[in-house]
Amino acid sequence: MRERSRFERELSELEVAGGAPARYFAGEAGGPVVKLTHFHVRKFLDLGTKALTPDPDPGVMTPTRMAVGYVLPADPRRQALQSALTALVTARYSSALSPTKPLRIAIADLTGAKQHAPVFAGISAFGANSEMEGASLPKILALYAVHQLRFDLDTFAARNKIDKASVLRSAIVAEWKKEGLRSTPNLTGLFKFVEKAGSPVTAQLHKTHDVHHNSVARALILALGFEYIGSVALQSGLFDQAHGGLWLNAAYNRPAVTWTRTPFPRLQRHNATALGAASFFVLLAQGRLVNQSTSKEIGDALAKHMCMGSSGLLDGIQALGGVQSPSPNKCGDDPPFIHDAIHVIREVSPGKRIEYAVAVLSKKPPVVYFTVLGQDLDRLIVAANP
């Protein structure tokens, strides 16, 4: 209870003063909320090395164990970054702040030791009226979910000493059914199962899923199923029933495919908040999406393309020089909705490096030039790390 109260207190103070109270998405007369048992490798702050250190063995994933670790609102660094962001947006982007001209921003400073204690600032980043049609941005949730599923299968097989693929598939499906899952993932369509005498069976992805493409994302979502993806969103904390986040109520391309009965029918078809998208890239940077090696796989998949080409946040930031390549990124472009989210490591000058995650959601009009905004946000992080 103490941890949940801390979480609520932290979120309640993320916004600029006078923000709207949280909206509760639970109890919308939709379908049941399914929360499966997922596994991950937790990281904790080692007081000796002052670094995030992985547990020796996988544990059960919960929102509390997956908490990003944002410093609390009273921290002077957080207050300073929030004040700087508020001043920037008020001075240069005020036309995009009215309810009919929305701009949502979340930025997390991960420079140096801040990687395990990120400093957050946001504008309409979460809570009431912060969710927006995310276009392609929430595809990152499906990409995460397929890697989570692989780890769930491997961990379940290892814990139960299962060395046969057929036994693993039937046993985990039975377990999911007990936990309330009605539509199970297409395991043979997604994975090749490798058997080796005396060792647990392991799952290997048939292919890398480049979710920058609608057809790839659609096939992946349908193979995983909405319920499994939703469970990952809930148990990872990337969707919170009080404050929203990343959620998929529909696949991509036509013909349209949606949940039979989603637990959150009032959410957007492809739901996103700036906080949810930024937190995804923070967890990626921390090596906490499943584990360190899987986070790298996910990041590499997202770095295959610069999603918004010459008109995105990353393009503007790269023009400043020193950006470590490749940079994981994902956009959403479905006019009037234009979104972008990235993880950046940049050498500002010899020996000085900054790191941050940022997500920007927007609805036109007015026009927001993401290349310019990206540079403006980068300067905030530079100034915060003299």
Task: Quote the DSSP letter at residue 72.
Answer: P
Q: What is the residue-averaged pLDDT of the chain?
A: 91
d(CA 343, CA 361): 15
Mean pLDDT value across residues 174-198: 97
Peptide bond into 335 cis (omega under 30): no
d(CA 137, CA 270): 8
Residue 24's pLDDT band (cuts 50, 70, 90): low
pTM of the full structure: 0.93
Strand ranges for the chain from DSSP E: 39-40, 43-46, 51-54, 59-60, 103-109, 119-123, 132-133, 191-196, 199-205, 239-240, 244-245, 247-248, 270-272, 329-334, 337-349, 352-363
Tens digits of per-residue pLDDT, 284-311? 999 999 999 999 999 999 998 888 767 8
CATH fit for domain 2-143+211-384, picks 1.10.10.10, 3.40.710.10, 3.60.40.10, 3.40.640.10: 3.40.710.10
Burial class from Cβ neighbours inside 10 Å (0-12, 13-18, 19+) for residue 56 reads exposed
Q: Identify any residues that bridge with 106 across adjacent strands, giving them in sequence order.
A: 122, 359
Of residues 245 and 47, the one with the higher pLDDT is 245
Q: Where are the domains positioned within the chain?
A: 2-143+211-384
SS3 category, 275: helix
For the cut 70, the answer to whether the pLDDT of residue 3 exceeds it is no
pLDDT value of position 29: 72
Residue 22's pLDDT band (cuts 50, 70, 90): low
pLDDT value of position 27: 56
352-to-45, 198, 232 alpha-carbon distances in Å: 23, 50, 36
pLDDT value of position 23: 62
For the cut 90, the answer to whether the pLDDT of residue 37 exceeds it is yes
Helix (H) or strand (E) holding 230: helix 226-236
Of residues 192 and 6, the one with the higher pLDDT is 192
User: Considering only CA atoms, which of 147, 109, 54, 97 is closest in space to residue 278?
Assistant: 109
For the cut 90, the answer to whether the pLDDT of residue 115 exceeds it is yes
pLDDT value of position 98: 80
Identity of the residue numbered 338: I
pLDDT value of position 25: 66
pLDDT value of position 28: 64
pLDDT value of position 11: 47
For the cut 80, the answer to whether the pLDDT of residue 17 exceeds it is no
State percent of the chain over pLDDT 90.
80
